[in-house]
Structure 1
Amino acid sequence: MTLRQESFLEHVRERGGYPGSREADRAARVVLALLGAHLIGSERAELAARLPETYALILLNPLQSAEPLSPERFIRATAAWIDGATETTATWDVSAVLSTVADAAGQDLMKRVLFQLPTGYDLLFGRPGEG
């Protein structure tokens, strides 16, 4: 089931405690661009199919990453891409977006996605112990 853009952003906005959808959209764009660089094959395509089109395209056309980032480096990279962000606020951004993505993905796809990622991403997705 694909989430509508308004619904997706509302979930991110609520989880991130953002005052409006603009901040939620900014976080979603950065986090999904970074995530897309870490996923390959059918898992990336299946995950994109469950997201609103705007965010699916970002996931499918990611920022380039020379190597998989550890969860800590993923958060630092997020902070670097969001104006005025700190590692603390970036952690919040990553958690708000990835927990919403995990809900859209469902348990089976999330297990396959986490299998592609370095250890520790299960916590970023709000799914401790599933990775």
Structure 2
Amino acid sequence: MNAAISPALPERARAVFAAQIPLPSPVTAPAFVETLAHTLGTSLTAARWDASSVLAALATLTDDHLTDRLLAHLPRGYALLFGRADLAAA
């Protein structure tokens, strides 16, 4: 995955993402937003908006297949941050 999105991210962002793989345990989307809010010193609403803006923009720079694969590895709830509906599998 790192090689597939590398052209879409600056070098420092790629390094930060790569350093987090694999996570010892999955981080829920709400916990991700809470951590982001704490790190940025902002509100949950602002952090959710910021995360969604960046992840949705990233999704437009890649193909749908890559975004689908990424979401398949993330806990439920991240699809909304990527600008997609969060539908449970039937």
Tell me the TM-score range normalised by the shorter chain: 0.7 to 0.9
Unpaired runs of 5+ residues, structure 2, are none
Tell me the residue number matched to 1:127: 84
Give the partner amino acid of 1:58: V
1:53 Cα deviation after fit: 2.5
**1-side partners of 2:67 and 2:84: how far apart?**
9
Identity of aligned residues (%): 31
1:104–1:95 Cα change, 3 Å: same
**Which whole-Å deviations, capped at 9, do the CAs of 1:91-129 have from their partners, x for residues lacking one?**
111111111111122201001000000112111111225
**2-side partners of 1:89 and 1:63: how far apart?**
26
State TM-score, norm by structure 1. 0.57
1:64–1:110 Cα change, 3 Å: closer
Question: In the alignment, which of 110, 124, 128 is matched to residue 67 of structure 2?
Answer: 110
Question: In the alignment, which of 9, 17, 38 is matched to residue 51 of structure 1?
Answer: 9
1:93–1:71 Cα change, 3 Å: same
**2-side partners of 1:45 and 1:97: how far apart?**
19
State TM-score, norm by structure 2. 0.79
Tell me the residue number matched to 1:93: 50
Unpaired runs of 5+ residues, structure 1, are 1-42
1:80–1:123 Cα change, 3 Å: same
Q: How many residues align?
A: 88
Matched, 1:77 2:35: yes
RMSD: 2.4
